[in-house]
Amino acid sequence: MTTTSERVSGSPTSQVSPRVSQSVFDGSRLRVVLLVDVYDGAQQQFLEAYELLCNQVASVPGHVSDQLCQSIENPSQWLITSEWESAPPFLAWVNSEEHVRMVEPLHSCVRDTRSLRFHIVRETGDPKVVTEAAERRLQSAPRIGDGLIRHALTFTVKPGSEDKVAKILSDYASPEPKVDDATRLCRTSLFMHGNRVVRAIEVRGDLLAALRHVARQPEIRAVEEAVNPYLEQDRDLDDPESARVFFTRAALPAVHHVTAEGQQGQAERYALSYPVKADRGMRLAELLAHQDVAAADDPLSPVVRSTIFQRDDVVVRLIDVRGGLDGADPALILGLADPAQVAELTTLAADVSAPKDAELARLVRLARMDLVTDRRSPEA
C-alpha cells in the first residue's frame, strides 16, 4: 500500500495490447536478476571476484547500478541485481567477448547461475526519487504472451563441410518433449545459411531446464559429437569449461517477437540471415522490429509471426508466412521496405536504381536460409 509520501510511477490507464509480443526495444529501464549458487567455503573468493567485476561493469555504457545480496537462510545462495538504462546496452555487453573474459574468475567458485531480465513497469517510492524522467522510461503497458519462450543457438562450421553437417543435423531422433510437469519442448527449427547454423527452439515452461534436458539426451549428445570435427570453434563436451564457453558464445537471444492478433493458425516457416555491417546489428534488429509491429497491424500481411534473434552482428529473423513466399510482398518478407536501408545496414549489394520490388525480391533470395529440419512435438 502506498502512503502519502509514496507514489507509483506509470500511467494506471495504460492499455494492454491484444497482440502477442515481446521486445527489448521500447526504451524501458531494465532490471537484471542473477541467482548464484556458490560452492561451500568459496564465499570470500566469490565476493572478491564480484568486486573486481563490479568495478569493471561500472564503466559500461548504460549501466546504472547493481546490488549484491546473500541469503539469510543459506550462505551459498547469492543474488545480484543490476539496473540498466534500457535492454540494448545490457545485451550488447552481456553478449560480448569482454563479458566472457570478465566473468571468468567467477567460474571456479560458482556452482550454478540463473539470469532473469525484466523491464520495469511500475515503481513506488519517494516523489523526490521517482522523477518524471524515470517515469518516461517505464514500460508503458503489460504485454500479452502465448506461453512460449523463444531462444536460438548459432555456430559456424568449416567451409566445405556444409552438406555433411546438414545431414548429421537432420538425421536424429527427437528427444522426449516432456521435461517435467511444468516444462515441454514445443518446436525446433534448424536452418543453415552458408556455413552458419541456427537452431531455434520454442519452450513452454522453464528454458534453462529445457536446455539442460536436451543436452542430457543420448541422441542429441551423439549428434553434437558427430558435428564436433566440423566446427570452426573447437569444443570438448567432456570439459565443462569448454562446453560452457562454446554455448555462451553460441547463444542467440530473441530480442523481439510479434504475433498478429487472431493469427494463431498454421503458416509456413522461413528464416532470413542478414549479413550486417560492423557494429550495426542492434540497429538493424531494432528497425526490423518496428517494421514487424507495423506489419502485424495490417490484416492483409502474409507474415503472421516474426521472431528476431540478434547477438553482436548476427541477425536472424524467423517468420511464419501464410500461403508461403510465392506472391508475397518482398518488403514484408525482408522486413525492410527501402533498398537504401538494406544498403546502409547490411553487406547485401542493394541496387537502389533497380525496380523496388524486383530488388527486394532478390535480396530475400540472398538472405533466405536453407531449412534443415522443423520438428513440432505432439500436443505443441
Cα angle 221, 223, 225 (rounded to 5 degrees) comes to 70
CATH number assigned to the domain covering 149-252: 3.30.70.100
Question: Strand 184-193 and strand 30-38: pairing?
Answer: unpaired
Go through 248-257 and write b for each residue having 16 or more CB atoms within 10 A of its CB, e for each that does not: ebbebbbbbb
Residue pair 344/368 in contact (Cβ under 8 Å)? The answer is no
Q: Return d(Cα 303, Cα 329) in angstroms, integer.
A: 10
Give the three-class secondary structure for 153: strand
DSSP 156-200: EB-TT-HHHHHHHHHSSPPPPSB-SSS-EEEEEEEEEETTEEEEE
> What three-state secondary structure class fits 60?
coil
Topology of the domain covering 27-123 = Alpha-Beta Plaits (3.30.70)
Distance CA 143, CA 23 (A): 9
CATH architecture of the domain with residue range 254-372: 2-Layer Sandwich (3.30)
User: What is the Cα–Cα distance from 341 to 361, expressed in whole angstroms?
Assistant: 15
pLDDT score of 265: 59
- In a structure prediction context, what are the per-residue pLDDT tens digits for the chain, which is 380 residues long? 333 333 334 444 445 455 668 899 988 999 999 999 999 999 999 999 999 888 889 999 999 999 999 999 999 999 999 999 999 999 999 998 888 888 888 888 999 899 999 999 988 776 665 555 555 588 888 888 888 999 999 999 999 999 999 999 998 888 889 999 999 999 999 999 999 999 999 999 998 889 888 888 888 889 999 999 999 998 888 888 888 888 889 999 999 999 987 655 578 999 999 989 998 999 999 999 999 988 888 888 899 999 999 999 999 999 999 888 888 889 899 998 888 888 888 887 766 666 677 888 888 999 999 999 999 987 65
The separation between the first and the last C-alpha atoms of the chain, rounded to the nearest angstrom, is: 41
State the cell numbers at 380: 505443441
- What sections of 124-239 are H helices per DSSP? 132-136, 162-170, 207-216, 218-227
CA distance 144 to 22: 8
The Cα 1–Cα 85 span in angstroms is 27
Q: Quote the DSSP letter at residue 144.
A: B
On whether the pTM is more than 0.85, the answer is: yes
CA 7 to chain centre: 33
Would you tell me how many other CB atoms lie within 10 Å of the CB of residue 196? 18
Lookup result for grid cell 552438406: 163
Report how far residue 5's alpha carbon sits from residue 110's, in angstroms, rounded to the nearest whole number.
41
Amino acid at position 40, single letter: D
One-letter amino acid for residue 211 of the chain: L
| Sole residue written with cell 572478491 | 48
C-alpha cell at 299: 490484416
Asked if residue 126 lies in contact with residue 5, where contact means CB atoms within 8 angstroms, the answer is yes
Positions of CATH 3.30.70.100 in the chain: 27-123, 149-252
